[in-house]
Amino acid sequence: MELRIIEALRRLNRGVALLVGAGLLICAAFVLTDILMRRFGTSLGGTEEIAGYAMALATAWGMAFTLLELGHVRIDLLRSRVQSFGRALFDVFSMIVMSGVIVTIAIKAWPVLERSIKNGSTANTPLETPLVWVHAPWFAGWVWFALMSCVVTLCALSLVVRGRYDETETVAGAFAEQEMLQ
C-alpha cells in the first residue's frame, strides 16, 4: 500500500520535473535569443527578470521530485553504522523534521503572495510583471513540496510501525538505490 502510493507519487513528480526541466530549457532558449538579437542591435528585454522567476519556480516545484528520488543530501556517518531498524528510525525522524520545516516554509510563503495580492504589486522593472503571476505558482510549489513531505513521512511511519524496516529505506532512505546519473 505505502509502496504503491510512493510509486504513484514518483511517477507524478517525474512528470512535474520534466515540465520544470522543459521550462528551464525554454528559459535557456530565451536567453540565447536575446544574445543573438543583441548582435543585431536589438533586444528582447527583461530576460534577467524572467530568468529569476524561472529559477524561483523551478526550485519550488523541483524540490518534491528530489525528495522522492532521495536526492536531498544527508550525512550518514552514524546512520550507516546501525542495523536496518536503526536506519529506519533515522529516516523517519529525518522525514518528520523535514516535513515540519517545509510546512513552516509553505505557511510563511503565504504572506509574500498575500502582499502582492493586496498591493496589486508589479515588479520594479520596465516589464511591470504583476507579481501575483509568479508568487502564486511559487507558493503552490512549496505547498506541493510540503504535501509530498507529509505523505512520505506518513508512509515511512506506517512502514516502521508494521516492522517493514527495509522498505522504509526505499521510501525515505539516504540514497536512491538506482542513482540517476548513470
Task: Name which of residues 41 to 60 contact other proteins (CB under 8 A).
Answer: 42-43, 45-49, 51-56, 58-60
Cβ contacts of 174-181, under 8 Å, gap ≥ 24: 174/70, 174/74, 174/76, 174/79, 174/80, 174/91, 175/70, 175/76, 176/69, 176/70, 176/71, 180/69, 180/71
Q: Is position 170 an interface residue for other proteins (rule: CB under 8 A)?
A: no
Q: Which stretch binds other proteins (CB under 8 A): 4-12, 70-78, 150-158, 159-167?
A: 70-78
The three grid cell numbers given for residue 29, joined into one nine-digit string: 532558449
Q: Which stretch binds other proteins (CB under 8 A): 3-11, 125-133, 156-164?
A: 125-133
Q: Is position 182 an interface residue for other proteins (rule: CB under 8 A)?
A: yes
Q: Is position 83 an interface residue for other proteins (rule: CB under 8 A)?
A: no
- Binding residue for other proteins (CB under 8 A) from 76, 137, 151, 154? 76
Q: Is position 169 an interface residue for other proteins (rule: CB under 8 A)?
A: no
Q: Which stretch binds other proteins (CB under 8 A): 4-12, 27-35, 155-163?
A: 27-35
Which one, of 79, 71, 135, lies nearest residue 98 by Cα? 71
